[in-house]
A and B are shown apart, each in its own frame.
Chain A
Amino acid sequence: MLTWILGLGGVVAAVPVQASDDHGAQASFAVRAQHLRLFGNEVVHDGVLVVENGKVRYAGDAKRAGEIGHDVIEHDGWLSAGLVACRSYSGTRGDTLEGKRPLTAEARIADVVALDHVDFERALAAGITTMVIAPSAANVVSGATAVVKTHGASFVSREAHLALSFSDSALRFNRYPTSYMAALGELENALARPSGVWKRVADGKLPVLLDAGSRDEIQRAVRFAKDHKLQGALSRAPWAGELADDVKQSGLAVIAGPFDVGTAERSLASVVALAKAGVPLAFGVDAPWNSEEGLRLSAAMCMRAGLDGRTAWESLTSTAAAVAGAGTRVGKLVSGYDADFVLWSGDPLDLTSRVVAVYVDGQRAFGGAE
């Protein structure tokens, strides 16, 4: 070990973190951190992440890294995969709802997301590197979600889910439908003779996001997903944990939150119950209406209510990536995955830790200059 460090010593000294701006553009480099938070709940002390051409080549124990062969950035703190937020409205300037038409299955939020919008700067500042951008849940069928990187102006997916609503927010007094019955009837009709986007949903190629609020709404959404063998996630669903067995059977994930200090115990207990039942969990941030910092806070609030650290961490990263349909690209620091990572001052699950720098596809996207 000693020899290895000595071998690197000169290089490390020569390339401090505060290097020039073109550093971010470097194709291949390594970061050595005091702590590396990996997939699951694994924390490696004295870890190293090796980035080659925007992808992870190696992440793990610095002792086992072998010959790095690249510049090494020393980080006196923690390093983890970038966070994945599973529901947000960032970069849309509020253009998320086609108000007078309840069924806009062919609408795509990707068409209105401004990838250079300042919303994404704030997301980066909160350690978020991937986001699911959703159309508003105030339509029965509101259209396709998109998955974006928060830096580099790139879509991971322009059509990630079809967003449906089972909640009363989709029932409006100035247009059809005003009732649960009619809304559900429309959804049933769409799947009775599926075409276009619905064909992809029916064939299992496109997952769904099912917005639901009260328990009866959640129950209807779960039943609908079961009846039609749909894949995807419940969105919001604050008390889904009280129907945890049903949700588990449906195979749906749940995008919970955002939670804040003061969120009702009942909502937090719901998340814990879902985790116990083995339901995949992720969190929404609903930015810009809510703070992007709310993502980490949501997980922390759930931990306060009894959620284990491993599940909490996976909900912020790998499970969230899977729910976003990008589980083979982001959310983990393993070889071949996108080099989306965050340098933290401490453990990211500790709210006192702050973001020091963020990299997306191996490019420095935020911080790191001081």
Chain B
Amino acid sequence: MSVYFGLAIALLAGAPQEDKDRTSWTISAEWVYTAAGDAIEGGLVTVSDGKIRSVSSGDGGQLQCFAVTPGLVDLSVRIDRGWNAVEQSREVTPEMRVVQALDWFDEGWMREARSGVTTAMVNVSDRNVVGGMSVVVKTAGASPQARTVKADSVLYGAIGSAPSSSNHPAYGRPDDFYSRRPTTRMGVEWEWRKAFYDAALAQRDKSKQVAGTTELQKVLAGEFPLMIQAWTTQDIRTAVFLKEELEREGLGAPRLIVDAAAEAWREPDLLVRTKTPVVLPPFAPQGRTGEGSFFALETAAQLDAKGLLVALSGHGARQVSQRLAYQPGYAMRGGMTFDAALKTVTINPARMVGVDRRVGSLESGKDADLVLWSGKPFELSSAVIGVLVDGRLILDPRQANK
């Protein structure tokens, strides 16, 4: 396996063979954007054994480029085995662990890595109401063990029409997986509340314990975040009201993160009053995006100005223009500063899921996940010309500089 990964890395990056396993480098750039404090003009990043050792002024690095940023962090990557990665025999499956259905060989990993995404959270498909436990991984590395940053990082699910859209009541031949609940948005909301109330009930009465109860109880206890996909205003309301109701009833305090919150701009105070972190989907032409929602360019800037923790994501989008590396540019077009935009794809998402001690900024001791840019990051005219994951060269900037 390690042979395979090594081979893939060497082939794809065109890195010289002797650099294949090398994890110590010096990288110099006209600008080093750390996502932790001010940018350094004329900066040098020293990497040893896969970790960042120092970030300072300097030049003459072994790898050189115009700008360096931390590796990008995408909390909504969809590299999975499709229908085989979601348990559709039930609609509430909190105990399902994405890490157990991951295809570490998928070519999508390398596509993500080469476009600058070095840390990715993979979530269960939105086909289920409560899908299961997400996993945070590196997009490249020697083995599944080495690549796993955080298994069971959040409990993921969906509110909206996605979990119910294809379902129907049992009629005709009910011999298929679509003859199941819920069949309406109302039913989706009901499933969420029932799942949590049942889990709370099982706290007192162990006989009510079923598969997944433990995970829901841990969400109520705030052990890990609850991430809910909610595109439209109504669905964002439902997610926030669910959290508030559970708190009001004294059942617990879920740490809610709203994913794909395209219409978060309509009622931001809802999110502000609950201090809910928000993951935004990729910006779309004319603003039209998932489940009929309208996503304004100003959303990221507006939520950031209100003090919310905001992250951008690729949300599994296939189009190159919707990849994460381009998203901060759109956010800036909507009024965000460069520094704030940088954070929405690095340290903010890392903080949301609790992996910021390892990734998300260029600081001594953190994983050496770096993106090397040909020009100012996130500009359409700039390219990702180099990528390091844990100090390993995935994309070699020396090829681009030739």
Binding site for B on A (CB under 8 A): 168, 171, 173-182, 184-185, 214-216, 219-220, 242-246
Contacts and interface: CB of A to CB of B under 8 A. Distances in A.
Contact of B89 (A178, A215, A243, A246): A178
Nearest to B101: A180
Contacts of A175: 89
Contacts of A177: 87, 89
Chain B contact surface mostly: loop
Contact of B84 (A179, A185, A215, A243): A179
Contacts of A215: 103, 105
Interface in B90-105: 90, 93, 95-98, 100-105
B176 A185 contact: no
Given A180-B81, A180-B85, 6 more contacts: A174-B177, A181-B101, A182-B87, A185-B95, A185-B97, A245-B1
Contacts of A219: 1, 104-105, 144
Interface residues of B, number: 30
B89 A182 contact: yes
Contacts of B100: 180-181, 184-185, 220
A179 B144 contact: no
Given A173-B177, A174-B175, A181 B1 contact: no
A171 B101 CA distance: 12
Contacts of B177: 173-174, 178
Contacts of A178: 83-84, 86-89, 177
Given A216-B103, A219-B1, A242-B4, A181 B176 contact: no
Interface of B: 1-4, 81, 83-90, 93, 95-98, 100-106, 132, 144, 175-177
Contacts, number: 79
Residue from A177, A184, A244 with most neighbouring chain B CB atoms (10 Å): A177
19 contacts: A173-B176, A174-B176, A175-B89, A178-B177, A179-B87, A180-B81, A180-B85, A181-B85, A181-B93, A181-B100, A182-B89, A185-B95, A185-B97, A214-B105, A215-B105, A216-B103, A216-B106, A219-B1, A242-B1
A223 to B, nearest CB: 8
A175 B97 CA distance: 19
Contacts of A179: 84-88, 96, 101
B84 A180 contact: yes
Contacts of B105: 214-216, 219
Contacts of A184: 100-101
A171 B84 contact: yes
Instruction: List the 4 closest pairs (A to B, CB-CB), nearest first.
Output: A176-B89, A180-B101, A216-B103, A179-B87
A181 B83 contact: no
A245 B7 CA distance: 14
A67 B196 CA distance: 84
Residue from B1, B2, B83 with most neighbouring chain A CB atoms (10 Å): B1
A320 B175 CA distance: 40
Contacts of A244: 3
Nearest to A220: B100
A181 B97 contact: yes
Contacts of B88: 173, 178-179
Contact of A245 (B2, B106, B176): B2
B81 A216 contact: yes
Nearest to B133: A181
A237 to B, nearest CB: 13
Residue from A171, A182, A216 with most neighbouring chain B CB atoms (10 Å): A182
Nearest to B4: A242
A181 B96 contact: yes
A103 to B, nearest CB: 13
A8 B3 CA distance: 59
A185 B132 CA distance: 13
A214 B104 CA distance: 11
A246 B101 contact: no
A242 B5 CA distance: 10
Residue from A180, A215, A219, A220 with most neighbouring chain B CB atoms (10 Å): A180
A161 to B, nearest CB: 23
Contacts of A180: 81, 84-85, 100-101
Contacts of A173: 83, 88, 176-177
A216 B102 CA distance: 7
Residue from B95, B98, B105 with most neighbouring chain A CB atoms (10 Å): B105
Contacts of B3: 244-245
A246 B102 contact: no
Nearest to B145: A223
A181 B102 CA distance: 9
A215 B100 CA distance: 14
Contacts of B84: 168, 171, 178-180
Contacts of B96: 179, 181-182, 185
